[in-house]
Amino acid sequence: MKQKIAKITVSIFKYGISVLMLTALLIALTYIFAFIIGGETAATIDAFMFSKILPIIYVLGVLMSIIGIVHLYLTKYKGFRFGFHK
């Protein structure tokens, strides 16, 4: 059962992070475009991105991190432990 849930969580994590990375690229390109345009239009683009898009991206990033941590727990991954290997 744990392995089945681990498979599901890793799939959700992979696709979720891929979508977030693509969205971050699009946001960066939008800000570059707004910088080139300048003026009141750039301020409007910034206000829209800051008030509507970025809060959603922040929440989705946190959720993907939690899903990734759950996957690490289910697979008993111990890459972040302190200690020395013998």
Q: Angle at the Cα of 34 (from 38 to 28), degrees rounded to 5?
A: 150
pLDDT per residue of the chain (86 residues) written in tens, 0 to 9: 888 888 999 999 999 999 999 999 999 999 999 999 989 999 999 999 999 999 999 999 999 999 999 998 888 887 766 766 65
* Cα maximum dimension of the chain: 62
Domain ranges for the chain:
2-74
pLDDT value of residue 21? 95
Token pair recorded at residue 14: 């992979």
Could you say which DSSP state residue 18 is in?
H
The alpha-carbon radius of gyration of the chain (Å, integer) is 19
Phi and psi of 41, rounded to 5°? -65, -40
Token pair recorded at residue 83: 């200690």
